[in-house]
Amino acid sequence: MRQADMRHEITVRECATPRHTTRYLAAGLADGPLIVFVHGWPELAVSWRHQIECFAALGFRVVAPDMRGYGGSTVHTACADYAMAQVVQDMVELLAHLGRDKAIWVGHDWGSPVVWSMASHHAEKCLGVANLCVPYLPRGFTLDSLLPLVDRNVYPQALYPAGQWDYQCHYQESFEAARAALEADPLRTVKALMRSGDPEGRGKPYRTATMRRDGGWFGGAGIAPDLPRDPAVLSEEALAEYADRLRCNGFFGPDAWYMNMERNAAFAAAAPDAGRLAVPVLFLHAAFDWICETRDSQLASPMRALCSDLSEAVVDSGHWMQQEQPERVNACLATWIARRIDLEERTA
């Protein structure tokens, strides 16, 4: 059989409510177990292209939304519109629109805090949750949570007070400048950001640790360097879609996700049972992700303390894991689902 014959049709759909419209990709059996893939910054539903095809072929119903501020979903105009409580409500409404009571939720980057929040605030809507790169932080994905977990062997306090998270401080202090540098040429921005992991980075300060000192993104140049596309992460088609959408929508929405630290902390504090998670959880560590570094630092420690059914695996990739190592990610997800998820609990 030709490869083209094995592909599953991927359709583009919308979930529209008075408060928000979510554009999403859907594939697979209409009555199959539901998996929702939640992307991060500054991606799109297409970042899950390899997982959509794989799990549709395995008999699942697969949905991947463009998150608020991205792609064909609503681009709201105030930073407060991108608080975690708002985003989680988008996902609750999407699930209801799909006619389901529960799903397996999978997140990456900023999609991970969304999925963690589904588990902590809406456990009854979760068959299980899996996250890539960003571990569970029960107090929220905020600087107050992140800074105490910085590896001070790599980032001495005197030189790197915010560790690798200095770029988030840059957003807080210079939001418009950060946005302008990313918007200067979205095609170059995507090519510069979405690159394979470098094993040689272990134990060395990452470039995001000096962003304020360097004058912002890209060493303060105000525009991304013109690097070649990394084919290990980006196809030509995916690159074109990212660049076109980011050129159309801009970076206000994506960057505004970083501007709700206090709101997100308050939302996290309202989780039942002090944020403890009883649903099945899978976490995939990216071995060469030097921002979300979880092997040597204590970044994953809160997750281990608060997840009662936790599985972990390490993937030899950088931050863009599901695109750089799709076969390994798919295998980890499929194995975990087979071993830990009771698909008979699903509601058709």
- Distance in angstroms (rounded) separating the CA atoms of residues 79 and 76: 8
Given this model, what pLDDT does residue 3 score? 35
Given this model, what pLDDT does residue 7 score? 64
Residue 278 · residue 308 · CB < 8 Å: yes
Unique residue bearing structure tokens 């962003």: 211
Residue 197 · residue 152 · CB < 8 Å: no
CA atoms within 13 A on the CB side of 131: 26
Look up residue 23 and give its two tokens.
């554009």
Domain of residue 20, residue span = 3-345
Given this model, what pLDDT does residue 2 score? 31
Q: What are the backbone angles phi and psi of residue 343, rounded to the nearest 5°?
A: -70, -15
Q: Is the pTM of this model over 0.85?
A: yes
Per-residue model confidence as pLDDT tens for the chain (348 residues): 233 334 679 999 999 999 999 999 999 999 999 999 999 999 999 999 999 999 999 999 999 999 999 999 999 999 999 999 999 999 999 999 999 999 999 999 999 999 999 999 999 999 999 999 999 999 999 999 999 999 999 999 999 999 999 999 999 999 999 999 999 999 999 999 999 999 999 999 999 999 999 999 999 999 999 999 999 999 999 999 999 999 999 999 999 999 999 999 999 999 999 999 999 999 999 999 999 999 999 999 999 999 999 999 999 999 999 999 999 999 999 999 999 999 987 655
Unique residue bearing structure tokens 């998270």: 165
Hey, how many other C-beta atoms are within 10 angstroms of the C-beta on 212? 17
The total number of structural domains in the chain stands at 1
CATH of the domain at 213: 3.40.50.1820
